[in-house]
Each structure stands twice: as structure tokens, then as C-alpha cells.
A and B are shown apart, each in its own frame.
Chain A
Amino acid sequence: MSRLPTGTFIPGSSPVHRLDARVKLLSLIALLIAIVSVDTLIGYAVIAAITVFVIGLSGLTLKTAVGSAYRMYLFFILVLLMNTCFFSAEDPWFSFWLIHPSHGGMVQGLIVVFRVFMVLVLSNILTCTTQPMEMTNALESLMSPLRFVKIPTDQIAIIISVAIQFIPTLFEEADMIRKAQTARGATFDSPKLSEKAAAVMPLAIPIFLGAFKRADELSLAMEARGYTGVRIHTNRKKACLRFGDYAAMVSVLAVCILLTAFL
């Protein structure tokens, strides 16, 4: 593993890192709504400025914050071209068959690309600055009203957090098995499709077996320590909102409402 997957939590102590995960999650949702509803140039500029400001606050490098979003450039180019060529038949530069490239279409394409890009970057900032555990706690906390309509939010939260916790373990195990099979002569980078397909089995079977075994052991261990599915467990870090959290939430909401209403 030489390149870090996009969105991996990067430890830090910036104001963004320290913010309550619930605030971050809600802020992201508010910003997403703002991004979709804004439709003036000033509005887009404000959103870009906010994003740059958050990146600056978070202490992430621009490269980390943008993550793999830039690698979607082909998708962006495609979206731009499609919009430019097909968006509207009004006032085209020229017309040929179904293709009517126009100024309006190009602008529309740019807007779509801008929105998708901002959504990607902002969500990436969230996952880069929030520990997976905090995120599940935040989800659990935000979902908790659903308990009154008999939705087992505790169990859902446990399922999510167990799944997230075991991703690195499974990743490591898969890496080990891949190496072991490589050492026995398996090839995973063959260009031939038939060999590629044949290479799946030696990987998939041990990984699945290992995952099932691990799940069995984990459920036993959880039961042995008294887990019954009824909420009696506590969080190690009790999340409580501080002044900074309220301030951030209020200012994000205010900006978003202004953006949505006026720009």
C-alpha cells in the first residue's frame, strides 16, 4: 500500500478536526443544499471561497483535500461536452445533425462540473478530518429520533461501526493472501482476461472464509462480554457540543440560508 486511498482519516488538531462530527455532517448537508440551489456567479464564488477557507482551516494540503476528484477529469470533460453539445438548440454556434453546441450549454456544463467537484471535495474533507468512530457516533446520534418509529438505530450503528473498523483488517488480510498466492506463482496483473478470471478464486475464497471466521469469533466475543443488542453500551468519548461547535453550525447555516435565498 504505497498510495493512500482518498478519504482516509488523517490525524490532526485543526479547528476542523476538533469540530463535533454531527456539526460537520450537518454542515456538509447544508452546504450541499446551498451548492445545488445557488445559481449566480457571486454564489459560486462564495461557495468556492468557503471551500478554500475550510481547506485552509483543516490544515490539509490542497492535494489531500482534492483527493481523487481530479482523477475524474475524463468524466468532467464528458459532462462538459455533452452539456455544450446537447443542452439547448437555442442560439447555437453551429448546428450539425443532433449537435447544437451553444454558449448556454457550455455554461450549464461548467456549472454541473463545478457542483460535482465541490461536493466531492467537501465530502472528502469531512472523511479526512473525522475518525470513522466519531462518524458512526454522529450518525447514531442524528438517527436517534428514528427509534420512536421502531427502527433499531443502535444495531444499525453497531453494524456500521464494526464494518468500518474491520476495513483495514480485511485490507491487510487480503494483501497478505495476495502475497502468499503470488509467492506460489499466481498472477494478478496478467493482461489476459482468462488468467485474470482464474486469479479471482485463490483470492476470493480465502478472504471470504477469513471474513466469516472473523465475524463468528467477533460475535462470540461480543456476546461473551454481554452484548445483547439492547442499548446499554457507552461511547468512550462522550460527544458534547461546545461553543465552537454551535458557532460553526450557526455560521454555516446562516451562510447557506443566505446563499439559498438570495444568490
Chain B
Amino acid sequence: MPIEVNSVSYVYAKGTPFETSALRNVSLTVENGEFVGIMGHTGCGKSTLIQLIDGLMRPTEGKILLDGEDINSKGYDRYKLRRKLGIVFQYPEYQLFETTVERDVAFGLKHLGLSKAEVTDRARWALETVGFDFGKVRGLSPMGLSGGEKRRAAIAGVLAVKPEVLIFDEPVAGLDPLGRDALMELTYDLNAAGTTIIMVSHNADALAEYAGRIIVLENGELIEDGAARQILSDVRKLREKQLGISQPTLIAEMMRERGVDIGHDVIRYNELISRVVLLVNGGVQK
């Protein structure tokens, strides 16, 4: 189910003295099963772009097509859109409101026409997928959970619909390292199971580990779109654009500066380790 963004522009508060252009003529296509990372500074238009893709705002100009259908055309079924696309906002824990975790997770399932047993099954599946013990957590109030648990419960609420495309806006912001790894593993597993993932993040490490493709926005314009390895290993350009650089890439660069070249294309930890092991074993010439 490809998503096509066709020369889309978005202007906030059009026709007032506060008019600002958030996106300018952005075009891109996301294919089924991709894991796309979106990078860029605060205010570059990342959030605007994903909200446009999710149909929460209408583009000022241009079109957004899902499976070849314009999602903003008049007859388009909004529920179909909601079933196909899920979005996890930054700090999703603020969207919890029901009396029990199970009911909150099932909130999005109301319009799917599922039977009661199916709804429970979905809730069970979603909560277990994010690492909860369904029996223990289903009756608890979501307000009584800890911060990290709240976030997982909120994510379960989005997962329960089983969307084909999942959009994450800074999902790891404010999480501890363990929570961050668990969440990134979750997105990896979902992607491996066929879900398309679009993830906005400042965290170059996380994107380097998991994303296959990177899109870079700057001042509302798309300035880079390509393979993650190619974009994340281009240290000079990343510095010039003041974007994050993954730790393995930095370490490889430091080693290179000290005369030990383990290759220009290292972006992940396991690559760094295997190259270093190779080097120690004499596999790479100094």
C-alpha cells in the first residue's frame, strides 16, 4: 500500500498576519513494508508532514494518495483511512482517558464492527505485544500506571487497530535506555511482520539501527531522500546540516583520524564491533 505525497505544501494561519509556510512542495513515496526515518530540526515541518499523511490536516496545495486514492477527496471513507494508518504522537500517554487499560486500548476498535470476543482478543494481542501481562493489567486504571507503562498502553491502543502503516513521532523522547531499546525492538518486529513504519526522530542511533531509508527536511523542504546507510554515513553533510550522527559512525571517524580505517559506511553497533574484531584479528590492513 504505497503512500504518495504529491508536491504538497502547507501554510499555517493563511490570510492572517501569522501566516507561516510549514511545508513547501514536498513529494515522496513510501512503499509497502518500508521503515522510513524522518530527520530534521525542530520546526522543519516533520510533524506537519506526518499529520498531513495521516489525514489530520489538509494540505494547502498538492495531494496525498493512499493506494492511489486521494485521502482528502470528498467521498473518501475516513474510517478506512483510520484502519490503514495509525499514528503514535509524541507523549502518547496524554491521550489515555478510559477507566481501565483494556477499555482504553479497545477505544479505536469501536468502528471496526468486531464481536466482543474479537475486541478482547485484539486488546490482549496489543497489550502483550507491548510487553504487558494482559490478565494483570486489563482491569487497572491507566492513570495509575508509571510513565513508561502509560506510554506502552497508549501505543497498544494504536496497535490494536492493526494498521498497515504506523507513524511514530519521536517515540523514544523521555524514555529510559531500557524503555527506548524495547520500543525500538517493537517497531522492528512490527516492521518485520509487514507493517510499514514511518518514524520521526532526532535520535540518529535509533534510526541507524532500524531505518532502511532516511528523509531529511529543512525549513519545510525535502533536502535528502535516500538509503539510510548512504545518508547517515555522510558525516560531513550531517555536520553541515547540524543533524545527529550515530555513535558507531562517530567512533569509526575518530579511529580514521587516528589512522585506523575500518570503512566509511559503518552506522550500526554490530557493524562497528565486527569491523573492530576483524581488525584485531588482522583482517584489515592498517
Contact = CB atoms under 8 A, between A and B. Distances in A.
A176 B89 contact: yes
Contact of B95 (A4, A10, A177): A177
Interface residues of A, number: 24
A177 B90 CA distance: 11
Given A180-B92, A183-B56, A185-B110, A1 B13 contact: yes
Contact of B17 (A1, A10, A202): A10
A87 B241 CA distance: 71
Contacts of B96: 206
Nearest to A1: B13
B16 interface: yes
Interface in B13-31: 13-14, 16-18
A1 B107 contact: no
A187 B107 CA distance: 12
A235 interface: no
A196 interface: no
A182 B56 contact: yes
A132 B230 CA distance: 49
A67 to B, nearest CB: 12
A184 B108 contact: yes
A210 interface: yes
B32 interface: no
B272 interface: no
Interface in B136-174: 143, 157-158, 161
Interface string A166-205: 0000000100110111111111000000000000011001
A2 B110 CA distance: 30
B13 A2 contact: yes
A209 B143 contact: yes
Contacts, number: 63
B7 interface: no
A201 B12 CA distance: 28
A11 interface: yes
A184 B97 contact: no
A184 B94 contact: no
Contacts of B86: 183
A115 to B, nearest CB: 29
Interface string A138-182: 000000000000000000000000000000000001001101111
B97 A183 contact: no
Contacts of B54: 183
A73 B87 CA distance: 42
Contacts of B129: none
B12 A179 contact: no
B229 interface: no
Interface string A1-16: 1111000001100000
A184 B16 contact: no
Contacts of A210: 94
Contacts of A182: 56
| Size range of the chain B interface in the assembly | 20 to 34
Given A4-B18, A184-B107, A206 B94 contact: yes
Contacts of B108: 184-185
B203 interface: no
Contacts of B16: 3-4
A143 B178 CA distance: 54
Nearest to A182: B56
B36 to A, nearest CB: 18
B82 interface: yes
A184 B158 contact: yes
Nearest to A61: B17
Contact of B82 (A1, A183, A209): A183
Contacts of A185: 79, 82, 107-111, 161
A179 B89 contact: yes
A186 B92 CA distance: 15
Contacts of B12: 1-2
Contacts of A183: 54, 56, 82, 85-87, 89, 158
A224 B41 CA distance: 32
Nearest to A180: B95
A205 B157 contact: no
The 6 A-B pairs with the shortest beta carbon distances in the complex, nearest first, are: A205-B97, A184-B108, A180-B95, A4-B16, A183-B87, A185-B108
Given A2-B12, A181-B95, 5 more contacts: A1-B12, A183-B56, A184-B158, A184-B161, A201-B97
20 contacts: A2-B12, A2-B14, A10-B17, A11-B17, A173-B94, A176-B94, A177-B94, A179-B89, A180-B87, A181-B95, A183-B82, A184-B82, A184-B161, A185-B79, A185-B82, A185-B111, A185-B161, A206-B94, A206-B97, A209-B143
